[in-house]
Amino acid sequence: MYYTTDTATTPFAKIPEGNLTEKWSHFKDKARLIGPNNRKNYHIVVVGTGLSGASAAASLAEQGYRVTTFCFQDSPRRAHSVAAQGGVNAMKNYKNDGDSVFRMFYDTLKGGDFRAREANVYRLAECSASLIDQAVAQGVPFAREYSGYLNNRSFGGVQVSRTFYARGQTGQQLLLGAYQALMRQVHLGRVTAYTRHEMLDLVTENGVAKGIVVRNLDTGEISRHGAHAVVLASGGFGKIYYLSTLAMGCNGSAIWRAHKRGAWASCPSWTQIHPTCLPQSGSHQSKLTLMSESLRNDGRIWTPLTKNDTRPPGAIPEEERDYYLERKYPSYGNLAPRDIASRAAKERIDAGHGVGPLKNAVYLDFKDAIASQGKAAIAKKYGNLFSMYEKITGINAYQQPMMISPAAHFSMGGLWVDYELSSNISGLFVIGEANFSDHGANRLGANSLLQACVDGYYILPQTLPHYLALLGKGTQTDTQSQAFEQCEKEVRTKLTELIQINGSKTVDHFHRELGKILYDKCGLSRNEKGLIAAIEAIRVLREAFYQELKIPQTVNGINEELEKAGRVADYLEIGELMCVDALSREESCGAHFREEYQTSDGEAKRNDRDYAFISCWNRGEKTPVLIKEPLKFAYTEPTERSYK
């Protein structure tokens, strides 16, 4: 058996009493407070300065708390939040097309295949409107209509327009707003910001988070940092697949090191494959390029009806084209949710209808949109995306279709958190993509930036002070304690062990091999036989890693291979848990598609009787331990997730 189950433990989610629409207000009304004059006595460490981390650090510092931030980039502005292109969701109903907080809540819950807490998802929708007003006040240049109103567009999985956008640069513009707020607090002396520093471990004493141990990536210096609370805002681990839409530096090490100190990992197999990515062009690539899902508003996706068709797209007449999303999902068409659109593309490619040099892509065609709206209108909405596509491929997408393909993207799984965004380790909070919350088994497009902002600007600044108030008087954390001493010793030992392997294979070799195993066996589709094979293959690969890895012999100073080695060592453990998690869930839901559990027409077959729970994984002596948090649906009824 690859795991055991703990039936005696039930996670306490701390969901407030009251009606769904009142829970967040009830929490805020009853939360403990700390007086303004006493807030400077409390110190908070924030790991990661992307959109969630920067907004949280700025907001907490604005309240008067002392904050220290850490990021491995040379500036918070280089956080991966900049890569989010298409928009951020919010319930404003500017289009007067029937949107509401409840509809946004239901769309998100349904989009995640009813595998998220109602209370958390409703709060996300409830807080969304405030974000747009705040972002506009910060100077985020959202697109506007001629009248001056902010413009909206649609994203997959919804039938209303609630996505606010700044051309194809929404993440970058929102991050600049958060960055400005953060730098203001740095200038005021309330935030101490460390760049080029990587968290290597979490320090706990008697089950309480007390601080972190970090490494200076320029000098190799190891240092200790104590705090009254630690916030992980370190993003997701989609880069585990090697070829993904994520930047090369993205990793899962911060949350995994916390997991090894006792924090529960939650639903790690729920990793999203994005349908709108540039296809792989060869073995030389180290990452893939994302094209915004917003393109599906006006672009039509199709493949040739004839297998192995080698004609250029312009030579294929309409009657010989298969607009398969419009055919299979007429209600939503090209705006079907990401997991469904990705599987549909894979099905067409696997059936021999793929296009491009490697026959691993489908067409995204703007011919009809340009004919009806004009090239200028399309350029106004997507011009920078078209320019980026032409720069990479040499193809003018105004004249011929783009070629797109599914690629690993977003982690719905992460560390388990309760309603207050606290992990099961007291004093350890987890926000943004680093936690499992809000998205269920599949994230709807444009909800990523929303969750990051809402967690950082609105939720954590309410819930973390409540925790600090319950602690009582703030006392200085002793970084010379035995717990800190032992943690630093273990960090140094691990780095030395990696350096001393002195094999003959690079870190990238092992990362690439792991990515192949996961994409083939735990990617767009999974089955029992493949998952078991993947677990065994990962174990063999991990053993080889610790015998054959080659790293330049230096612990001090800049050593990017050593950085990568630590992250890939964690990936080799995360990857196994991903497969174990997928093996334990004998159903199909959202991004988790088990081939044994599908309807007669190939759609996901969910099992609410046996699997309506959140998987929480604890570390056991020999195997992972599964703890189940039951999901209760008091305000919605889980239904078949149909987009037809």
Matching residue, tokens 């829970």: 23
Map residue 521 onto helix, strand or coil: helix
Q: Choosing from 117, 153, 300, 338, which is the catalytic residue?
A: 338
Give the pair of three-digit tokens for residue 508: 């990238």
How far is the C-alpha of 536 from the C-alpha of 513, rounded, in Å?
Answer: 13
How far is the C-alpha of 343 from the C-alpha of 561, rounded, in Å?
Answer: 35
What's the alpha-carbon Rg for the chain, to the nearest Å? 24
Q: Are 511 and 239 in contact (CB under 8 A)?
A: no
Q: Are 514 and 538 in contact (CB under 8 A)?
A: yes
Phi, psi of 83 (to 5 degrees): -80, -15
Q: Are 463 and 421 in contact (CB under 8 A)?
A: yes
Matching residue, tokens 């207000």: 25
Phi, psi of 336 (to 5 degrees): -65, 150
- The residue among 389, 394, 442, 412 whose CA lies nearest residue 85 is 389
How far is the C-alpha of 492 from the C-alpha of 8, rounded, in Å?
Answer: 37
Element (H, E) at 503: none
CA 564 to chain centre: 20
Question: Is 257 part of the annotated catalytic residue set?
Answer: no
How far is the C-alpha of 256 from the C-alpha of 414, rounded, in Å?
Answer: 9
Q: Are 405 and 279 in contact (CB under 8 A)?
A: yes
How far is the C-alpha of 137 from the C-alpha of 518, rounded, in Å?
Answer: 43
- The residue among 573, 631, 635, 636 whose CA lies nearest residue 607 is 631
Q: Which residues are catalytic?
A: 338
